[in-house]
Amino acid sequence: MLSSALRPAYRWLAAIILSVTAFTGYAQVNPANVEIVRDVWGVPHIYGKTDADAAYGLAWATSEDDFATVQRMLLAVKGRLGEVDGKNGAILDMLAFIGACETVVDTAYDHSFTPEYKKVIDGYRDGLNAYAAAHPEEVFRKGLFPVTSKHIISQYVLTNMLLTSVYLDIQKIFNGYIKHDEINLPSGSNGFAFDTSRTADGKTYLAVNSHQPLEGLFSWYEVHMNSEEGMNMLGSTFPGGISILHGSNNNLGWACTLNHPDMSDVYKLEMNPANRLQYKFDGKWETLEVRKKTVKVKLGAIRIPITKTFYWSKYGTTIKGKDGFYSMRFTANMDVRAPEQIYRMNKATNFTEWRDIMRMNSIPGMNFVYADKNDTIFYVSTAKMPYRNPAYDWKKVLPGNTSETLWPAVFYPFDSVPQVLKPKSGYLVNTNNSAFDVTTTECNATCNSYDKCMGYGLEKNNRSIMAHLLIERYPKLTYNDFKTIKYNDDYTDSIYTNILPNVRVLLALDPAKHPDLADAIAVMRKYDFHTNIENENGAIILYALYNLIDKINARGTTYEGNVFTEKEYADALRHSKKHMLKHFGKLQIPLGEVQKHVRGNVVLPISGAPEVLAATITKPYKDGMRQSFVGESYIQLARFSKNGVELESVHAYGASAKPNSPHYTDQMQMFVNKKLKPMTLDKATVYKTAASIYHPGLDKKKDVFSAK
């Protein structure tokens, strides 16, 4: 450890070295002004004099914990992920090209962001480049670094394409699955808010309860960011994010869930039989612009170059499908300011400020469930919605031969999308269900008040049905009641057909018609709709459901809008029976014995299933078992009062994605036990209870300076 006499000189020298070795030549952040304080769970609490300092610290801390994932998104926007991840990586490379991510940012960057926020982006950029310079052995591919500020923003454009499900339309074009009546909606995530009229202790409650992949590009990274410029926020972001996407500060917080109005349009072009690259538009032949993209795809020890040809029409990105040319038009790449909006949301101190920031309307689509210490609760289904011609059905494939379907880049303002403020019911909940089903009927927004061309639907799901049923049981709920609702893992026994293959249809199978399934049907009919680890009658149903879900995935679609025949349900149960007898020798077995939460050498039983409130989605593991990979992930519960906020949280695995870290798996037991850890925004408490304190790149974590 350095002597106290040498530490100041060392820090000064290291700061100069880092400024040079960060590649940039214009590094603005002095790492000596940044402290990373790790708590006993390894969660980074980042303190900087400026917001740019805090962004630098976030980049460094995220890289310490998950540099592999940080690099993957950067590789994708540079068209190089295929060099590392083979075919799957090349798909993202192509999506980034199709969405013109870098081109859009190159064009818009200079005039889109305020000078204040450009400093924050640059601070994050410098933190990444400094970490890469200090840890060259961790860099995946030569030439990836240095990254520029534009690369950082390009990640957000690609992320917005993926979160608004633009990729599903692209996938359907490639696979020939474009259908006029097909509905394809994403699902996952819960947000709850209760005002003081519904809570026994007179506090305002918020549940940030996202359902995301547990690892990878869209897994959650928990962090606390604090600066002397007014930032003090705890929550989570995706690895590579510049700001916290959802969570709480001392005054307010919000949860995010994916929504699914009509955020992308597909057009069938009318091609010239005499010229394969000409399409008709307003009675004239126009020529497609040819855009080729070459990526290298890792195949064993070699990397094979693959070139794909895409096109550009007046509508935008154009793809040659099996039955012709299709163009796409979507808003996810029409506004690059989403990261600045999120940053400003982090710093809001009250609802008026927060809603004014939301009026930037730069997030292409997302539900927000909001709560604050002034007892304000609010819901909004944001969407950057264009003004569309009402003469067309925008949910269908549109004619690509007329300016009548070419909407201009002019969008409805924020106040024009569905929202509910301070409902008399005292609560708000969204589970990716309809924007018109977030509270009691009399307090909901009404669908007739909104332009039908926006495509907002009336869909419900098991989670929304269960949430409303449970909330009705508690006219005044305690904090433990709040947790009981949030952690519920039951299916409703009502019939719902718009989300998963229907459990009720499986239960209704007639053993007389399917005698070989009589024993399996008898087990199923004992099922009580719970998905706790002790349940012995649910595993056979879940294996059947996953068989049907595999069929859905093979179609290139998501859960919604799929209809199965009775024979397909029977075949799925037949598959489930065969699987269980082969691997477990019986049809009744506790769910926790076949469903596991796994990382490294830690293997734990886990409850839950697709579409229950405490959702768990699994994939094949070993010996016939299944392991969680999507669902409950980062959870934060907040209680607001005039005194500020009380926080608890948990991560599915731990603060680090590096196997050699003590925080790789240390939250797993707590997670499966449905417990949470106390967290704080109070600086004195953070420092007093710190496990380590260091300046990024200046001190080794093992040489931390004492908090005392």
Please report, for the domain that includes residue 450, its CATH number: 3.60.20.10
Q: Looking at the structure, do residues 451 and 510 belong to the same domain, yes or no?
A: no
Domain assignment present for residue 644? The answer is: no
Provide the percentage of residues in the chain whose pLDDT is more than 70. Answer: 91
- Is residue 170 in some structural domain? yes
Lowest-pLDDT range of 73-82, 135-144, 187-196, 265-274 = 187-196
Q: What is the mean pLDDT of the chain?
A: 91
List the domain range (segments joined by +) for residue 254.
196-263+335-390+411-486
Distance between CA atoms of 623 and 606, rounded to whole angstroms? 17
The pLDDT assigned to 555 comes to 67
The Cα 240–Cα 36 span in angstroms is: 17
Residue 462 confidence (pLDDT) above 80: yes
Mean pLDDT for the stretch of residues 166-181 = 67
Two tokens, residue 214? 């547990």
Centre a 10 Å sphere on the Cβ of residue 604 and count the other Cβ atoms it contains. Answer: 17
pLDDT in tens, 305-339: 999 999 999 999 999 988 999 999 999 999 999 99
* Residue 692: strand, helix, or coil: strand
pLDDT, average across residues 341-347: 98
Range of weakest confidence among 126-135, 579-588, 696-705: 696-705
pTM of the model: 0.93
Residue 563: per-residue pLDDT: 76
Residue 556 is predicted with a pLDDT of 58
**Residue 619: burial class (beta carbons within 10 Å; 0-12, 13-18, 19+):** exposed
Q: How far apart are CA 538 and CA 531, in angstroms?
A: 7
pLDDT at residue 604 is higher than 50: yes
Closest CA to 385 of 337, 344, 332, 340: 332
Tokens standing for residue 186: 């994403």
Q: Rounded to an integer, what distance in angstroms lies between the CA atom of residue 125 and that of residue 134?
A: 14
Q: Which of 486, 520, 544 is the last residue of a domain?
A: 486
pLDDT at 17: 38
Kindly write down the DSSP assignment for every residue of 438-507, as one continuous string.
SS-GGGS--GGGS-GGG-------HHHHHHHHHHHT-SSB-HHHHHHHHT--B--SS---SSSSPHHHHH
Q: pLDDT value at position 650? A: 98
Question: What span, in angstroms and rounded, lies between the C-alpha atoms of 282 and 261?
Answer: 28
Residues 63 and 164 both lie in one domain: yes
Domain match, 220 and 350 both: yes
Asked whether residue 437 falls in the same domain as residue 583, the answer is: no
Q: How far apart are CA 86 and CA 225, in angstroms?
A: 35
pLDDT of residue 102: 95
**Domain count for the chain:** 3
- Quote the pLDDT of residue 177: 57
Residue 309: which H helix or E strand, with range?
strand 302-312
Of 214, 212, 211, 232, the residue nearest 223 (C-alpha): 232
- Asked whether residue 227 is assigned to any structural domain, the reply reads yes
Judge if 481 and 512 occupy the same domain: no
Whole-number pLDDT of residue 6: 40
Residue 155 sits in a domain whose CATH number is 1.10.439.10
Q: What CATH code is carried by the domain that includes residue 518?
A: 1.10.1400.10
- pLDDT band (50, 70, 90) for residue 5: very low
Residue that is last in its domain, among 555, 587, 612? 612
Length of the chain: 708
Residue 535 pLDDT greater than 50, yes or no: yes
On the question of pLDDT at 708 being above 70, the answer is: no
378 pLDDT above the threshold of 90:
yes
The sign of the CA dihedral 254, 255, 261, 263 is positive
The answer on pLDDT for 134 being more than 90 is yes
- Mean pLDDT over 409-428 rounds to 97
- Look at 552 and 571; give whichever has higher pLDDT: 571
* Nearest-angstrom CA–CA distance, 526 and 417: 44
- Provide the pLDDT for residue 176: 63
What pLDDT band is residue 700 in, cutting at 50, 70 and 90? Answer: low
Residues 460 and 511 in one domain: no
Contact (Cβ atoms closer than 8 angstroms) between residue 526 and residue 509: no
Q: What is the mean pLDDT of residues 194-200?
A: 98
Lowest mean pLDDT among 12-26, 446-460, 603-617: 12-26
Residues 349 and 478 in one domain: yes
User: Are 304 and 331 spatial neighbours (Cβ–Cβ below 8 Å)?
Assistant: no
Distance CA 365, CA 432 (A): 12
Helices (H), 78-114: 82-98, 101-112
Confidence category of residue 27, pLDDT binned at 50, 70, 90: low
Strand partners, 204: 640
DSSP characters over 41-65 = T--EEEEESSHHHHHHHHHHHHHHH
The answer to whether position 228 is within a domain reads yes
Structure-block tokens of residue 592: 């926790």
SS3 346: helix
Q: Can you tell me the distance from the alpha carbon of 88 to that of 331, in angstroms, rounded to the nearest whole number?
A: 25
Most confident of 2-6, 268-272, 300-304: 268-272
Together in a domain, 169 and 200: no
Model confidence pLDDT, tens digit, residues 606-625 = 999 988 999 999 999 999 99
Residue 226 corresponds to which tokens in the numbers above?
């604090």
Residue 666: inside a domain: no
Write down which residue in 612, 647, 682 finishes a domain. 612
Q: Does residue 202 share a domain with residue 161?
A: no
Q: Is residue 152 part of a domain?
A: yes
How far is the CA of 82 from the CAs of 94, 128, 241, 321, in angstroms?
9, 21, 22, 22
Residue type, 113: F
Q: Are residues 378 and 432 in the same domain?
A: yes
The verdict on 456 and 591 lying in the same domain is no
Q: Using N-to-C axis directions, what is the helix angle for 166-175 and 82-98, rounded to 10°?
A: 100
In a domain, 684, yes or no: no
Q: Which helix (H) or strand (E) holds 682?
A: none
pLDDT tens per residue across span 201-228:
999 999 999 999 999 999 999 999 999 9
Same domain flag for 454 and 557: no
Which residue would you say has higher pLDDT here, 183 or 442?
442
183 falls within a domain: no
**In the predicted model, what is the mean pLDDT of residues 522-526?**
94
C-beta of residue 380 within 8 angstroms of C-beta of residue 358: yes
